Structure 1
Amino acid sequence: MSTDDFLARFGSPGQRQPDPVAAAQQAMRNPLPKRFYEKAESLERDGLFHVALDGRTARTPARKPLAVASHAVAQALAAEWQAQKGEIDPARMPMTRLVNSALDGVADQHEAVRAEIVRYAGSDALCYRAGEPRELVERQDQIWNPLITALESRIGGRFVMAQGVVFAEQPQAVLDAVAKRVAAIPAPVALAGAHNVMTLTGSTILTLALAEGLIDAEAAWAAAHLDEDYQIGIWGQDEEAAERRVLRRKEYDAAVLLLMQG
């Protein structure tokens, strides 16, 4: 099977990323192709860094060159391809799927992607607080409030907090301030990373805090899973949920790299 045939069959074009669990399940249903190349590497050509399989540029499902402006991203892509063993498993290639999506989808729809990130800010997970128990309330305040305050200072807007599931409309001024920051995220690769970070964390606030350098990837992940971790501390975590979280984390790490380096 050629590089183009493989990418056409197993790539994931379009703006949205597949759920990592669903992707893994689909990959298990499909017969996986044998590895058909000896070496995957990053090669600089025409001002971009190409992912090359035995010297030949890989292509996206839309047959665009799998090439990016960031050397770090290209190296991560090449490492993902090189890490494939006897068979090529797309479920273990989150970076490739996300970059395919960036090049084939986000590149032509970047304004719609930006608008969706701004819309998320209108109902951001960090703006909805628990009323009880006290320990969870205090933990949300301790972890989330400094992040929100730092971002508010950076963008010049104030978010409205709510308790429980009652919807709280955000001021247009803060949404406009968010939109200005989102507009500064380069398309398509970094923007695709931002969109995936937002989806996986449920938070535009955390996404912008990462993009602005106010928080690192580990702290953002922990903040996004504060409520979940609190529940795990009380009830424990079942094996299936733990596996899903591992897959989500791999998707998240790939998205963060694109956001910060793309």
Structure 2
Amino acid sequence: MSTDDFLARFGAAGQRQPDPVAAAQQAMRNPLPKRFYEKAGVLERDDLFHVALDGRTARTPARKPLAVASRTVAEALAAEWDAQTGEIDPARMPLTRLVNSALDGVADQHGAVRAEIVRYAGSDALCYRAGEPEALVERQDAVWNPLIVALEDRIGGRFVMAQGVIFTQQPQTVLDAVAKRVAVITSPVALAGAHNVMTLTGSTILMLALTERLIDAEAAWAAAHLDEDYQIEIWGQDEEAAERRAIRRKEYDAAVLLLTKG
């Protein structure tokens, strides 16, 4: 099977990313092809860094060169390909799938992707707080409030907090401030990373905090799973849920790399 055939079959093209868990599960149901190349590496050409399999540029499902502006990202992509052993398992290639999506979909849909990120800020998970128990309320306030205040100071807007799940409209001024920050993410690869970080954390606030370097990737992941971790402390960890979270974490790490280095 050629590189093009493999990517056409297993790549994740499109302007919006599918659920990473479902994508991985679907990929695992497909018969896996044998590794057909000896070496994966990086070639610099035309001011881009190409992922090369046996010296040939790999291509996306839409037959675009698998090439990015960041050597760091290209090397991580090549390492993902090189890590495949007897078979090529797309479930273990979250970065490749996300970059394919960026190059084949996001590159032509910048406006739509940015608009969706801004819309997400209108119902950001960090703005909806528990009313009880007191321990959870205190934990949300301790972790989320300083982060939100720091971001508000950076972007020049104020988010409205709500209790429970009843929708609360965010001021247009804060949405406009978010839009200005999102507008500076010009690379389709970084924009795809931003969208996936937002989706996987349920929070545009956390995504922007990462771009503004107000928080690191580990702290953002912990903040996004604060409620879930509180429940685990009380009820214990479900094995299937833990497996799904591990898959999401790999997708998240790939998205963070694109957001911060793409």
TM-score of the superposed pair, with normalisation by structure 1: 0.99
In structure 2, distance between residues paired with 1:228 and 1:90: 28
Of residues 212-221 and 14-23 in structure 1, the stretch that sits farther from structure 2 once superposed is: 14-23
1:222-237 equivalence runs, <5 A: 222-237=222-237
In structure 2, distance between residues paired with 1:187 and 1:123: 25
1:171-186 equivalence runs, <5 A: 171-186=171-186
**In structure 2, what is the equivalent of residue 45 of structure 1?**
45
Deviation at 1:168, TM superposition (A): 1.0
Q: Any idea what the Cα deviations from partners look like across 1:201-232, whole Å, max 9, x if unmatched?
A: 00000000000110000000000000000000
Structure 2 letter corresponding to 1:260: T
Gaps of 5+ in 2: none
Structure 1 letter corresponding to 2:187: A
Deviation at 1:28, TM superposition (A): 2.2
Deviation at 1:119, TM superposition (A): 0.2
The answer to whether the Cα contact below 8 Å between 1:197 and 1:207 also exists between their aligned partners in 2 is yes
**In structure 2, what is the equivalent of residue 238 of structure 1?**
238
1:16 equivalent in alignment to 2:12: no
**In structure 1, what is the equivalent of residue 202 of structure 2?**
202
Structure 1 letter corresponding to 2:11: G
In structure 1, distance between residues paired with 2:28 and 2:50: 29
1:80 equivalent in alignment to 2:80: yes
In structure 1, distance between residues paired with 2:243 and 2:214: 29
**In structure 2, what is the equivalent of residue 219 of structure 1?**
219
Identity among equivalent pairs (%): 87
The answer to whether the Cα contact below 8 Å between 1:162 and 1:168 also exists between their aligned partners in 2 is yes
Deviation at 1:17, TM superposition (A): 1.7
**In structure 2, what is the equivalent of residue 118 of structure 1?**
118
Gaps of 5+ in 1: none
The answer to whether the Cα contact below 8 Å between 1:20 and 1:91 also exists between their aligned partners in 2 is no
**In structure 2, what is the equivalent of residue 132 of structure 1?**
132
Aligned residues: 262
In structure 1, distance between residues paired with 2:197 and 2:26: 22
Secondary structure of 2:165's aligned partner: coil
In structure 1, distance between residues paired with 2:28 and 2:259: 29
